[in-house]
Amino acid sequence: MIPFHEQKDKPNLWSWLNKRYNLHKQGHQDTIVVVCGSEQLGKSRFVLRVEWCMDKELFFKEEKYNLDNIVFQGEDHRERMINCEKSIIHNDEGALSLYSRQAMTPENVKSNKKIMLCGYKHNLQFICIPDFFSIDSYIKNHRVMCVIKIFQGNKFKAWCGDKKIKKILYQKNYAVKSSTRGWWSERDDDKDFKSFMKAYRKKEHKFKSLSMDDAEKEEEKKLNEKDLLKQTIYKLYHKGNVGTDTIADSMGISRRTVQRWLKERTLSDHPN
């Protein structure tokens, strides 16, 4: 199976990735590769193709598919960084734990610390995220060795090495001349890889279904908290004789919001 095709006049991404992985298996260095692009363009599929062709035995053992190193959550990514050595790690949802706008959240802080210290494990890590520039500043400035951007039509561009990454960061866009570019075709997929993709889709579906359930529960919790707050305000106003200004100040909300909620409650209690 061929992972992807490249322009013949460009340096070879496949050779670069294999060279890095061989170094890691010998106990030298480590590499973080960021794969970016809009949703549904094939970031995950591209990475899975590369991983499958690079080390099939890692993902297919004793006639069973092994997806332990393919993770979706920050907690699982950190666990893999601790327990994997001279291997491949694939974070399929990097935005959930490595997003720059959430840099000081406990999840991000924990993940950043692990990435700072995991170099001695000599792993090749792929992080999928919609936009390279949205990843946490420490990672993009000090740890990323390669950026691969996915485009429509199963096409990609890649920038490899410190010099290229620094140029991208300096210009803050993808207009920097790429190290290589290419494309991939699903016609190249072999039978085992197609089955591997099905196993991945099952794991992805399970994760996203659980995530949606968690989001709904969180939304329900917020609604319950809001209803409880409204009830407290109503009691303070009608039974405690507390004014709207005092309620607003003590609750940390605007007086207009307090008045609107009181009006809504009055209308619901006395619709006519």
DSSP string of 28-83? Answer: ---EEEEEE-STTSSHHHHHHHHHHHH-HHHHEETTEE--TTEE-SHHHHHHHHHH
As a whole number of Å, the end-to-end CA separation of the chain is 73
Share of the chain above pLDDT 70, in %: 90
State how beta strands 144-151 and 124-129 pair. Answer: unpaired
Write the CB contacts of 176 (distance below 8 Å, at least 6 apart in sequence): 159, 164, 167, 168
Mean pLDDT of the chain: 87
Q: For residue 247, name the pLDDT band (cuts at 50, 70, 90).
A: confident
Question: Which residues share a beta bridge with 129?
Answer: 36
Residue 259 above 60 pLDDT?
yes
Write the CB contacts of 252 (distance below 8 Å, at least 6 apart in sequence): none
Residue 115 above 80 pLDDT?
yes
- For position 52, what pLDDT does the model report? 96
pLDDT tens sequence across 6-43: 987 777 899 999 999 999 999 999 999 999 999 999 99
Q: How far apart are CA 201 and CA 189, in angstroms?
A: 16
Neighbour tally for 226: CB within 10 Å: 11
- For position 47, what pLDDT does the model report? 97
What are the CA-CA distances from residue 121 to residues 29, 78, 86, 93, 100 (Å)? 8, 12, 6, 22, 25
**Model pTM?**
0.77
Residue 272 above 80 pLDDT?
no
Q: Two tokens at 170?
A: 């300096």
- When pLDDT is averaged across residues 252-256 and rounded to a whole number, the result is 83
